[in-house]
Structure 1
Amino acid sequence: MSRFGRTDLPDEQATDLRKAVKIEVFTICYTTVTILVVALVLGNSQAMKTAWVEDILSLTPQVAFLVALVFVRRKPTRNFPYGLHRAMSVGHLVAGVALFVVGATLAYEAISGFLSGDHPTIGTIVLFGSSVWLGWVMVAVMALIAIGPPFYGRYKLKLAKPLHNKLLYADADMATADWHTNAASIVGVLGIGVGLWWLDSAAALFISVGIVWDGVRNTRTAILGLIDKRATTYDEKAVHPLIAEAATMLRGLPWVADAAVRMRDLGQVFHVEAYVVPVDPRTPVSAYESAARAIAALDWKVQDTDVIPVSVLPPEADPGFGREAGRGSRAGASGAGPAAASERGSDASAGATSDRLKGER
């Protein structure tokens, strides 16, 4: 449980990973019970049926996360030299596509029902010897099951950050907004009760559009990761500050004239290609090996590191924040800015590593 490929997780991440597994198992059990309970009170409401299908779909990222963990823990081999970390991104893609396809289908059904003028009805049931309108039972069930997701969703959000897990983040983000689905289904049921039948179709459309949007976002994020977009933070809101840290640390070495980095996100860990322009082309191999170790020491997420000597930096390599305009100066970047606060506390580790390497020289 405490290993990702060839990386041994720090104690904090190992603990958080165990918590993530437990909360996903709990969520699957909770959602399964929810699916069974809602199935008993569906009635003819299109909104209720759409909310029920969304509950079923919500199992996809949770199951994908647990299955992907089995693969990402395996060490790299000659057949898979980078390990199997992409399994997490593949699971993310599968979840996104499933959400999009089913959501689009549900949206079509909601629109078709509205255009055809279907007037759904909700009957009564005998409850404790009394005849009760089924709609009240539906409302009570949806209100009750809406309590859980926002709480465990926020809990997952706290775990997604230190684990740098975008699939877990997507699952958490959907859970925290799950109350929208329950509220919409309640509006649809009450609409039928007061004779506004079209409210049911409108609520179903609202829920299905939310599913489609979740599908689009998850599919987009997964695809961008699989085609090696520049590494970003777990929430996709900023370029990952480790890029700037690595480039800044390298430029601080006495034998490096300039440096830039290409960093790819393998799903939960990074592969780093660092390009350096040496002051002296006769710089020994040991210096490059020490630099590679220093980059790997910056963060547990750095799985593979290559330091490559070049005479001119590749234009697609990232020199770090504040350095996009030019590479002529050896002055380091001013820091990762606000983005660093999202996943990194400071550049202290980079500075310490740089000082250590200067001592070696």
Structure 2
Amino acid sequence: MSLHGGIPPAIAADVRRGERLEWWTLGWMGSVVLVMWLVMGASQAMKAAVIEDLLSLIPAIVFLLAARWERRAPNARFPFGYRRANSLAFLVAATALLSVGAFLAYESISTLLRQEHPTVGGITLLGHTIWLGWLMLAALAYSVVPPVILGWLKQPVAERIKDKVLHTDALMQKADWQTGLAGIAGILGIALGWWWADAAAALFIALSIGKDATGALEQAVAELLDGTPRALDSNALSDDDTALITALKERFGDVDVRLRETGRYIAAEVDCPSPPTIPTAVELMGSDAEWRLASLSFRPEPSDGPV
């Protein structure tokens, strides 16, 4: 077992599926941004939705870049390969999600404090003047559909390949459709004369996004600091981590076991002399998860730090 480059055959098909979904994301969400920009007018929720949709493209872009880098073979400058590109992409994606929440919160709170009264005027189409709000509502309704579908499709793929970038992107899609619904509520509020509804709806969504983003950022930092593998959707230790530690202790006794994540993969270190026969990844992880164990090493004596 060695920590080198390339995507294991066991997950290659799902990684390609994830890439296809991200290309679809760039196409569909790009069309959403264009439609929303054309009709956004002076609505705070509409402006926030456009910015949010633009930022939502970042996780898709970094996933595609990380998957490409992950396939590169090790070289003299990167002898352990590029598998940690996924960890770096996860940090970028989590930061983008947090930026969306922070932006929405700032804009909404500023609007509420200034007590701005947004207005939605009319527009002339084919000789007829219609309320721009109808076009806004249509655009917002359209903006909800693609992220709902894309997020639903990404979740099971992210789970199978243990990809936190793809999972974070699914959270971003959740933020997209929630922002769209908040925008609809805001436009309807303006129509009813509730000047605060526009910003209040966006602020409510910002708090939800901020909660998801904070958790994702904690996971990303832990991964880059060689933390023990975390679950896909929380900062709790992963099931694979617990199962691997149990399997190693059953085989080698009450020894110290250290695990760290390298992208979607796990590196393990056991404080005991190297055995005559090293167990295979299948024996330790099972056939479904054996691809995750990228490195297994042994140390005759416990180490308190770098030598």
TM range (shorter): 0.7 to 0.9
- C-alpha separation between the residues in 2 aligned to 1:37 and 1:131? 20
Greater Rg, structure 1 or structure 2? 1
SS at match of 1:306: strand
One-letter identity of the residue aligned with 2:279 = A
Aligned residue in 2 for 1:47: 45
- C-alpha separation between the residues in 2 aligned to 1:217 and 1:233? 11
Task: Classify 1:17/1:98 alpha carbon distance in 2 versus 1 (closer, same or farther; 3 Å).
Answer: closer
- C-alpha separation between the residues in 2 aligned to 1:105 and 1:142? 19
- 1:202 to partner: Cα distance: 1.1
SS at match of 1:119: coil
One-letter identity of the residue aligned with 1:9 = P
One-letter identity of the residue aligned with 1:19 = R
Aligned residue in 1 for 2:55: 57
- C-alpha separation between the residues in 2 aligned to 1:61 and 1:264? 23
Q: Which stretch of structure 1 is more off in the superposition, 115-124 or 82-91? A: 82-91
Task: Classify 1:314/1:183 alpha carbon distance in 2 versus 1 (closer, same or farther; 3 Å).
Answer: same
TM-score by length of 2: 0.87
- C-alpha separation between the residues in 2 aligned to 1:314 and 1:34? 54
Task: Classify 1:274/1:193 alpha carbon distance in 2 versus 1 (closer, same or farther; 3 Å).
Answer: same
1:239 to 237, 240, 244: 237
TM-score by length of 1: 0.75
2:260 to 264, 282, 286: 264
Aligned residue in 2 for 1:306: 297
- 1:78 to partner: Cα distance: 4.9
Higher RCO (CA < 8 A, seq sep 6+): 2
Query: Is residue 75–residue 81 contact of structure 2 (8 Å, CA) maintained in 1?
Result: yes
Aligned residue in 2 for 1:325: none
SS at match of 1:75: coil
Task: Classify 1:103/1:79 alpha carbon distance in 2 versus 1 (closer, same or farther; 3 Å).
Answer: same
Task: Classify 1:72/1:193 alpha carbon distance in 2 versus 1 (closer, same or farther; 3 Å).
Answer: same
- C-alpha separation between the residues in 2 aligned to 1:102 and 1:176? 12
- 1:169 to partner: Cα distance: 0.8
Q: Which stretch of structure 1 is more off in the superposition, 292-301 or 197-206? A: 292-301
Query: Which runs of no fewer than 5 residues in structure 2 stay unpaired?
Result: none
Task: Classify 1:262/1:215 alpha carbon distance in 2 versus 1 (closer, same or farther; 3 Å).
Answer: same
Aligned residue in 2 for 1:192: 190
Query: Which runs of no fewer than 5 residues in structure 1 stay unpaired?
Result: 279-284, 317-361
- C-alpha separation between the residues in 2 aligned to 1:75 and 1:190? 54
- C-alpha separation between the residues in 2 aligned to 1:159 and 1:307? 33
- C-alpha separation between the residues in 1 aligned to 2:137 and 2:117? 19
- 1:45 to partner: Cα distance: 0.5
Aligned residue in 1 for 2:279: 291
Task: Classify 1:252/1:180 alpha carbon distance in 2 versus 1 (closer, same or farther; 3 Å).
Answer: closer
Spell out the pairing of 1:1-361 with structure 2 (5 A cutoff).
5-6=4-5, 8-11=7-10, 13-101=11-99, 103-236=101-234, 238-253=236-251, 256-276=252-272, 287=276, 290-291=278-279, 295=284, 299-310=290-301
What CA deviation, in whole Å up to 9, does each residue of 1:122-172 have, x standing for no partner? 111123432210001111111122112122111100100111101111111
- 1:182 to partner: Cα distance: 1.1
Query: Is residue 56–residue 96 contact of structure 2 (8 Å, CA) maintained in 1?
Result: no
SS at match of 1:110: helix
Which has more helix, going by share of residues? 2
- C-alpha separation between the residues in 2 aligned to 1:291 and 1:112? 59
The aligned length equals 300
Query: Is residue 157–residue 173 contact of structure 1 (8 Å, CA) maintained in 2?
Result: no
Task: Classify 1:257/1:90 alpha carbon distance in 2 versus 1 (closer, same or farther; 3 Å).
Answer: closer
- C-alpha separation between the residues in 2 aligned to 1:314 and 1:245? 23
- C-alpha separation between the residues in 2 aligned to 1:230 and 1:222? 12
